[in-house]
Homo-oligomer: A and B are copies of this chain.
Amino acid sequence: MPLNPADASFEAILRAGLPEDILRPLAPRYLEEPRGRYVGQGGLLALPHDTEQVATLIRAAARHRVAIIPYGGGTGLVGGQVLPEGPAPLILSLERMNAIRAIYPEENVLVAEAGAILADVQNAAAGADRLFPLSLAAEGSARIGGNLATNAGGTGVLRYGNARDLCLGLEAVLPDGQIWQGLTRLRKNNTGYDLRHLLIGAEGTLGVITAAALKLYPQPAASGTALLVVESPQAALKLLSLARTQFGEMVSAFELIHRQGLDFLSEVLPDIRQPFPAPPEWSVLIELGTSGGIDPSAALEQLFATALGADLLSDGLIAQNSQQAQDFWHLREMIPEANRLIGSISSHDISLPLGAIPDFIAAAPGRIAALGDFRINCFGHLGDGNLHYNVFPPQGRSRDAYPGLGATIKRAVHDLVQEMGGSFSAEHGVGRLKTGDLERYGDPAKLSAMRAIKAALDPQGIMNPGAVLRG
């Protein structure tokens, strides 16, 4: 049965049961997404103040069969936050529910409402001399509810895990309007099916997260950063293994950078200072966060010497102060911006078993070259096996010259990823952009279980319809 639109009569129903300021005029930004691939259609916009109001809204939507689009910071990259077609939805933004409800430094726990901006969560933790380690480019506007709904990744995953690994408990409203009071601060709790992990990564299709109990960590006492020139991706992996053998969990980040990314920076962001006289073919940014009195610079020097002796690297820079460390990170973090300015034909957020990465990096250019003359920027979170593998036109040409080729390239890349046991979506999720990939590459038993779960928890299909699973 098709859904009903969030029309004037539905609006009247909502207005009758809720305070006046809950429904707000629908600003255009709620219908946009960062890469401009989708434009959402209008509908109603609700900005609830508390969980009870979220439940009231969802109960009304369930009763009247109206689609709900949960809205966090709007920073998702796969179109999960906009509904481009079908009956007009109720857009439910959690932005007013942005409180840090409590912080328990001795427990290493922080409880935040879903609308809290990620950077605010980080800052609240830092204010209690603790670390909330989820860190990603959009942290200044992404909201923690969306980070959890999409199981966000970022640069801290190697040491601290994905968003799901940083969550102890959830409060959420299920598709029938029931409030699940699951906001436990427990480290061990084996009392039935793990609804938390089911909602995390479900991208708002099984309910709306309203608050979360989050894991904090002690702040490392000191940190050190280095940019190391490696001989090859294989050498980078050996360097990672060496670093973890020497320093265990103190290895906080391990990012791969290809020459193409540095060339792009020179091309479109020439003010960014290049650290090496000639951009190296492969380099890695490594960060150590140490405790126990370990001097991170000395540790990095020791690692450098060992790796040099093992022929894993040929050059490198160890940050001598925090400004230099920030510069190294800035270099890494501006690569996506350079990509955006160049304009990719097709971009891929893929992951692979760590051991398969050198083979992938060796094999993929051939598959792409078979389709034309392109530039490839391969970079990302090597420690997690997560590459952002993006394909661009040759210098001087625009992606507009390659209409329709993006899908062909994407297919070639994702096919190879699948052959090598990898994933077509490492950290961005499925959203609306990758529902076809999920159908193509997803395990049939898993897909049928997913459909059964969706039908069981959201039998009317009102929660973020068309995301993750097509109707």
User: CB of A455 within 8 A of chain B?
Assistant: yes
Q: Give min CB distance, A126 to chain B, whole Å.
A: 14
Give the contacting residue for A294; candidates B106, B293, B450; CB below 8 A. B293
User: CB of A206 within 8 A of chain B?
Assistant: yes
Give the contacting residue for A178; candidates B383, B427, B444; CB below 8 A. B444
Main secondary structure of the interface of A (DSSP, over half): mixed
Is B218 within 8 A of A248, CB to CB? Answer: yes
- Minimum CB distance partner of A154 in chain B: B188
- Minimum CB distance partner of A207 in chain B: B449
Cα–Cα, bound, A206→B449 (Å): 10
Which stretch from A85-93, A138-146, A157-165, A317-325 is at the chain B interface? A157-165
- Minimum CB distance partner of A238 in chain B: B106
- Minimum CB distance partner of A237 in chain B: B106
Is B248 within 8 A of A195, CB to CB? Answer: no
User: CB of A352 within 8 A of chain B?
Assistant: yes
- Copy tally for this chain in the complex stands at 2
Task: Report chain B residues within 8 Å CB of A161.
Answer: 165
Task: Report chain B residues within 8 Å CB of A450.
Answer: 192-193, 195
- Minimum CB distance partner of A244 in chain B: B218
Is A193 within 8 A of B186, CB to CB? Answer: no
Is B174 within 8 A of A291, CB to CB? Answer: no
- Minimum CB distance partner of A200 in chain B: B194
Is A355 within 8 A of B107, CB to CB? Answer: yes
Which stretch from A6-14, A116-124, A339-347, A416-424 is at the chain B interface? A416-424
Q: List 19 A-B contacts (CB under 8 A).
A: A104-B353, A104-B355, A106-B241, A182-B446, A185-B421, A186-B385, A186-B421, A187-B351, A187-B384, A188-B386, A191-B424, A191-B425, A191-B438, A192-B450, A195-B450, A218-B244, A246-B292, A248-B289, A292-B292
Using CB atoms and an 8 Å cutoff, list the residues of chain A in contact with chain B. Answer: 104-109, 150-151, 153, 157-158, 161-162, 164-165, 174, 178-182, 184-195, 197-198, 200-202, 206, 217-218, 220-221, 237-238, 241, 244-250, 289-294, 299, 351-355, 381, 383-386, 421-430, 434, 437-438, 441-450, 452-457, 468-469
